[in-house]
Amino acid sequence: MVLGSDTRAEFGSLWSLYEWVMIVTTAIVFGTVLFAAWRYRSRRGHAPSAKSEANVAELVYTLILVVVVAVLVTRTFTTENRVDAIASNVKQHVEVTAFKWGWRFTYPGSGVSVVGDDQRRPTLHLPVDEPIVFVEHSRDVVHSFWVPALRFKRDAWPDDETEFELTVDRAGVYAGRCGEFCGLHHADMNFTVVAESRERFERWLRAQ
C-alpha cells in the first residue's frame, strides 16, 4: 500500500499546518491593528511620535517571515512529492474520458465501461485501501476530474493523456464533479463514486 496517494490524509495534515499559521497570523494582525487604533487614537495632550523607522525590528520581522515561508514551502514540497507520485506495479487501473457533458469510466482488462451524462449520472466503482492509477483525457474541451471527499482534482486535456494515482481509504458513496468550466451543462456534469471492498468491487465488475 502506498500512503503517498492517500490524498485525503495528506491534504488534512498539510491543511492543519496552514490553518494554524493563518489563525495565528490573523489573531496577531487583527489584535495589533485594533489595539493600535484604540491606543493611539487622537487625545488631548498626546503628540504623535516623530520616529519614522525601526530598522532592527523590521529586519528581525523579515527574518521571521522568511522562516515561515521556508517551513510552508518545505512541507508543501514533501507533501506534493507524495501526492503526485505514481507507484509501479499497481493492480487497478481506470481510464477516464471526459466529454461535454458527462463521463466514461473504463476498466482495462475487464472490458467493462460505464458511461453517463448530465441526464443520467454515471457511477464510478472503486476498490478501497489500494492504489488506483487513473489515465484521463478529454474528447473536446478541458474538463477536470474532482472528488471533493478525496481532496483532489486533475484536469483532463484533449491533446494528451494525464496520469495520476489515488487511494480511497474508506468505503462510502462520494460526489464527483467537473472542476473546470466547460460550457452550458458544466454544473450538471457530475458523477458518483462508490468505494467498496475488493470482493464487492470484483463482484460488481463481473456482473457488468
Partner 1 sequence: MTTVAVERPRPAGLIAWLASTDHKRIGLLQIAASIGFFVTSGVAALLMRSELAEPGMQVVSRQSYNELFTLHGSGMIYLTITPLAIAVGIYLVPLQVGAAEIAWPRLMLLGLWLFVAGGVIMYLGLAVEHGAAKTGWFATYPLSSSAHSTGKGEDMWICGVFLAVLGNTIQSAGLLATIVRKRAPGMTMARLSPFTWSMLATVLMAITSFPVLLGTMAALEWDRLHGGVFDRSYGPVAYQLLFWFYGHPVVYVMFFPFVGMVAEAVSAFSARRFFGYKGFTLSILLFAALSMSVWAHHMFSTGRVNNEYFSLTSTMLIVPAGLEYFAIIGTMIGGAIVFSTAMLFSIGFLLLFLIGGLTGIIVASPPLDYHLTDSYFYISHFHYTLFGGSLFGFFAGVFYWFPKVTGTLLRESLGRLQFVLFVVGANLTFFPMLILGFEGMPRRVATYPTRFTTLNAIETAGAFVIALGVLVFLVNVWWSLRRRVPAGKNPFGGPTLEWWTTSPPPRLNYDSLPPIRSYAPLFDLTETTAPAEPGPPGRRSRRAPEDKP
DSSP-based three-state secondary structure for 68: helix
Closest CB 137 distance from partner 1, rounded Å: 12
Residues in contact with 180: Cβ distance below 8 Å, sequence separation at least 6, in sequence order: 142, 143, 144, 155, 156
User: What contacts 189, CB < 8 A, 6 or more positions away?
Assistant: 98, 100, 101, 102, 103, 117, 118, 143, 177, 178, 182
| Closest to partner 1 by CB, 149 or 205 | 149
Site for partner 1 in 150-179 (CB under 8 A): 151-155, 157-160, 162, 164, 175, 177-179
On whether the CB atoms of residues 178 and 108 are closer than 8 A, the answer is no
Minimum Å gap between C-beta 205 and partner 1 is 27
Binding part of the chain for partner 1, among 104-112, 119-127, 143-151, 194-202 by CB under 8 A, reads: 143-151
Contact residue for partner 1 among 1, 3, 20, 76 (CB under 8 A): 76
Q: From the list 86, 114, 128, 141, which residue makes contact with partner 1 (rule: CB under 8 A)?
A: 141
For residue 121 the three cell numbers come to 449520472
Residues from 81 through 110 that contact partner 1 (CB under 8 A): 83-84
Cis peptide before 101 (omega within 30 of 0): yes
Residues binding partner 1: what is the number (CB under 8 A)?
78
- Contact between 119 and partner 1 by CB under 8 A: the answer reads no
Instruction: Give the contacts of 197 (CB within 8 A, at least 6 positions apart).
Output: 127, 128, 171
Span 40-59, contacts to partner 1 by CB under 8 A: 40-55, 58
Cell of 158: 484533449
- Is 20 an interacting residue with respect to partner 1 (CB under 8 A)? no
